[in-house]
Structure formats: structure tokens, C-alpha cells
A = this chain, B = another copy of it.
Amino acid sequence: MVTVKQPTPRVLTCDDLTDDQDQMARQVLARTFGPWSMWALHVMYSEARPLRFSRILERVEGVSQKVLTQTLRTLERDGLITRTVFAEVPPRVEYELTTLGRALLKRALPVWNWIVTQVPKLERAREAYDAR
């Protein structure tokens, strides 16, 4: 078997992915755009500085402590945020977007801002569907 030299470092497209890689890409996007993740990331993005757990918990209204913990852990595992523990009393934990996380948010926020402008349309579509 002969190894063929790659002429240029090809840009990855959808079809270049293995099934595992494809699944990872889809799941990271799915998690990022999940209601709690999106909200938490948005908070971190607009603050643009390290945030304590309790600050995030305050701003992401309606999320429970348990679910926020899980959400942030997953975002950390996906490489979108960092989690820094300070050995103090009382303990302090700070979260911040990584470069990758900021890059993703930069691309996701236009979609968010656009969907916000479409809310009236979404409401009308929902009503029309439910009326049948």
C-alpha cells in the first residue's frame, strides 16, 4: 500500500469526517445551542471577564444549581470554557470563555439575534399549527 502525499492541508468539509468526528461536531453544536448553554455562554461572552459560579447562576434565570453545574462541566469538556478553582475560604470558582468558545459565540450570536427578530413569525406559525 502506498501513502499518497496530501498536496495541501485540505480544509475539512462534512464528508471528510469519520462517523465519530461527525457525531462529535453535531453534538457539540447541539449542546452549545441548548437553552441553558446558550444563555450561560451569552452571559460569559458579554461580560468578557472571568465569572463566578454564583454570578452565572443569578443571570441564567430558572436554571437549577445541579443543571448549571452539569452544563458548565460539559462546556468545559468541549473546550469552550475554562474552570479555575481558587483554594480559598470560602471557595471561589471562575469560568471564562476559551479562544475556541469566543470564536464559536461570535458565529452563533448573529443566528441568535436573527431568530429574535423572527419571534413574531414563530408565534404566528405556532398558533396556525395549534389551531388545526
Interface positions of A (Cβ within 8 A of B): 11-14, 16-17, 21, 23-30, 32-35, 38-39, 76-79, 100, 103-104, 107-108, 110-126, 128-130
Q: What chain B residues lie within 8 Å of A29 (beta carbons)?
A: 33, 38, 111-112, 115
Pick the contact of A111: B13, B108, B113 (CB < 8 A).
B108
Judged by DSSP, the binding face of A is helix
Asked if residues B118 and A100 are in contact (CB atoms below 8 Å), the reply is: yes
* Contact sample, A vs B, 30 pairs, CB 8 Å cutoff: A11-B117, A12-B116, A12-B119, A12-B120, A13-B113, A13-B116, A14-B112, A17-B116, A21-B119, A24-B123, A25-B112, A25-B115, A25-B116, A25-B122, A26-B38, A29-B112, A30-B35, A77-B126, A77-B130, A78-B126, A79-B122, A79-B124, A79-B128, A100-B121, A103-B118, A104-B111, A104-B114, A107-B110, A107-B111, A111-B111
